[in-house]
Amino acid sequence: MSDLHEPVLGWYDAHARDLPWRDPSASAWSVTVSEFMLQQTPVARVLPVHAAWLERWPTPAALASEPAGEAVRAWGRLGYPRRALRLHAAAVAITERHGGEVPAGYDDLRALPGIGDYTAAAIAVFAHTRRHAVLDTNVRRVLTRLLGARELPPTAVTVGERARATALLPDEDATAATWSVALMELGALVCTAARPRCGECPVADACAWRLAGYPAYDGPPRRVQTYDGTDRQCRGRLLAVLRDAPGQVSRARLDAAWPGAEQRERCLRSLLEDGLVIRTSENTYALP
């Protein structure tokens, strides 16, 4: 398996995108912010928000000192705004438990609010050069094709996947960290979900899926996300009104943001339950 390391690492050295959270000078907090923002969001949309966020809140303590609603406001239109609340909660915990420094250990990271297995591993690896398998969607797809002869991985990470990814890590910590981000980049730029560019892949000759004749995915149907008319779109419209207002917003302004009364009421209620919105009086609302 070590025969795969040199071509993939060489390809990454030549083709890696210049991203601010990958710069050697990037802080662990910069990496942490990027990992929260990049969940289900393309790099191009994250870049300007990440830059603005780090300019305003260059440390966890800076973010923790402001209300959570400011994090939601600054999140803008990245989508899935609960991530902003979780990032704010993580900043508070980092400030209170770790003296304002993003911890390096997987267990300490995993104990922070809003940080799951993948994010903890990613921060440990990319911010602190620890040796862990980092299994995001791109890495899982590359390894499934390269070693498993299947087009797409299972919907959830399996024990076998984790063991295989861990066994494939180079021995040296820094090289293992570069290997992890190289696999991620290979999946993002070459071994894509819909149109893989096998002619540009540095390990195409060793790819089990290619050698098997590209068998099509035959697992459970993959869920296709929609947006227009959904509760997610409605919630986004309501939040946009609140983000753009300097203070409280009347119920009438929220009612004007979405035509369907029943769906609008359901979505406003869910925003209140999620802590993304607070009720300031009988007929006014605001960010927390």
21 in Cβ contact with 34 (< 8 Å): yes
pLDDT tens digits, one per residue of 28-47: 999 999 999 999 899 999 99
Instruction: Confirm whether pTM is higher than 0.85.
Output: yes
Active site residue 172: no
Q: What percent of the chain has pLDDT over 70?
A: 99
Annotated catalytic residue, options 6, 35, 161, 262: 35
- Architecture in CATH of 231-286: Orthogonal Bundle (1.10)
pLDDT tens digits, one per residue of 222-262: 776 677 889 999 999 999 999 998 889 999 999 999 999 99
Residue 220: the pLDDT is 77
Domain ranges for the chain, please list them: 231-286
User: Which two three-digit tokens encode residue 217?
Assistant: 């995915």
Asked whether residue 221 carries a pLDDT value surpassing 80, the answer given is no
Kindly indicate the confidence band of residue 108, based on its pLDDT and cuts at 50, 70 and 90. very high
Kindly indicate the confidence band of residue 1, based on its pLDDT and cuts at 50, 70 and 90. low
Residue 33: the pLDDT is 98
Asked whether residue 129 carries a pLDDT value surpassing 60, the answer given is yes
